[in-house]
């Protein structure tokens, strides 16, 4: 099967409001398709790498069957920030001219609370497995990054995944490392079916999927603060990390199982 995901590009036409609960000042914006989006700025603290993580993790989650808001590329015109009165936001807008990333805004969604809303062991195990694969450090009781929308669970905010790519130190070793942060995962207590999920998810997520998703990364994002000599080498680093980690899932599954035993 020839798998080729597509990401639409929209033009931002209106800055609605900052979402100040996010450390990188994401914002609610309107685009030229008349939809609202949560915009993640390339000029924010973590730069393009946070957008790359959001893109890769979000599209991997979609392949695995999770509900994830549509991800789009969002073009920010050079004149966009001139009328903004807040200097901090104005600087952010100026530093983010060009291509950014945005997620479809789920109007009326509420934060998911596992202590209030029951979650099945299978779904909890799927989310824990996925976060172990992409090394997502940001799915904790403090910040679940899950929403309930139309009575269904949606995953959001994956910019903290692949945290090793901020330095790219020993990516081959990173791919084989247990994910120690899994001990803080908000759904770990319910994740009793990791081995069954492992078999299922490894059949769904193929090397073809990984290559196709990595190919979506805009060249301009890869050129920012890159330790690699070429774009292809940079893309291959992501592909090799994910393929290797997918071939050694027992490493992060065992870490999760041990952490759960200590928890319960």
pLDDT digit string (tens) for 204-254? 999 999 999 999 999 999 998 899 999 999 999 999 999 999 999 999 999
Query: Would residue 152 count as lying in a domain?
Result: yes
Quote the CA–CA distance of 52 and 54 in Å, as a whole number: 5
Domain holding 114, by residue range, is 110-263
Total of domains in the chain: 2
Same domain, 21 and 97: yes
Query: Would residue 58 count as lying in a domain?
Result: yes
Query: Would residue 4 count as lying in a domain?
Result: no
Q: Tokens in use for 246?
A: 């997918």
Same domain, 51 and 131: no
pTM of structure? 0.95
Same domain, 92 and 152: no
pLDDT in tens, the chain (264 residues): 578 889 999 999 998 988 866 556 799 999 999 999 999 999 888 899 999 999 999 999 999 999 999 999 999 987 766 666 677 778 888 878 899 999 999 999 999 998 888 899 999 999 999 999 999 999 999 999 999 999 999 999 999 999 999 999 999 999 999 999 999 999 999 999 999 999 999 999 999 999 999 999 999 999 988 999 999 999 999 999 999 999 999 999 999 999 999 987
Query: Would residue 3 count as lying in a domain?
Result: no
Same domain, 144 and 236: yes
Quote the CA–CA distance of 202 and 72 in Å, as a whole number: 26
CB-neighbour burial class of residue 39 (10 A; exposed 0-12, middle 13-18, buried 19+)? buried
Same domain, 51 and 147: no
């Amino acid at each position: 099967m020839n798998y080729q995901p597509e990401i639409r590009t929209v033009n931002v036409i209106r800055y609605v409001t900052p979402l100040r609960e996010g450390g990188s000042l994401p914002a609610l914006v309107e685009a030229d398709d008349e939809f609202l989006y949560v915009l993640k700025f390339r000029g924010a603290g973590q730069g393009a790498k946070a957008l790359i993580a959001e893109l890769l993790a979000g599209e991997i989650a979609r392949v695995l069957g999770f509900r994830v808001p549509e991800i789009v590329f969002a073009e920010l015109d050079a004149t966009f920030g001139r009328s903004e009165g807040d200097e901090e936001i104005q600087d952010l807008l100026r530093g983010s001219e060009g291509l950014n990333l945005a997620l479809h805004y789920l109007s009326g969604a509420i934060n998911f609370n596992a202590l209030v809303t029951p979650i099945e062991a299978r779904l909890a195990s799927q989310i824990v497995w996925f976060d172990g694969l992409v090394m997502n450090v940001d799915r904790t009781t403090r910040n679940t990054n899950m929403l309930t929308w139309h009575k269904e669970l949606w995953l959001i905010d994956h910019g903290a995944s692949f945290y090793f790519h901020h330095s790219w130190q020993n990516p081959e070793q990173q791919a084989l490392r247990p994910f120690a942060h899994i001990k803080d995962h908000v759904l770990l207590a319910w994740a009793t079916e990791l081995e069954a999920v492992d078999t299922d998810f490894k059949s769904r997520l193929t090397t073809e999927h990984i290559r196709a998703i990595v190919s979506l990364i805009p060249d301009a994002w890869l050129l920012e603060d890159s330790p690699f000599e070429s774009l292809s080498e940079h893309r291959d680093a992501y592909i090799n990390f994910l393929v290797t980690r997918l071939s050694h899932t027992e490493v992060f599954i065992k870490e999760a199982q041990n952490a759960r035993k200590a928890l319960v």
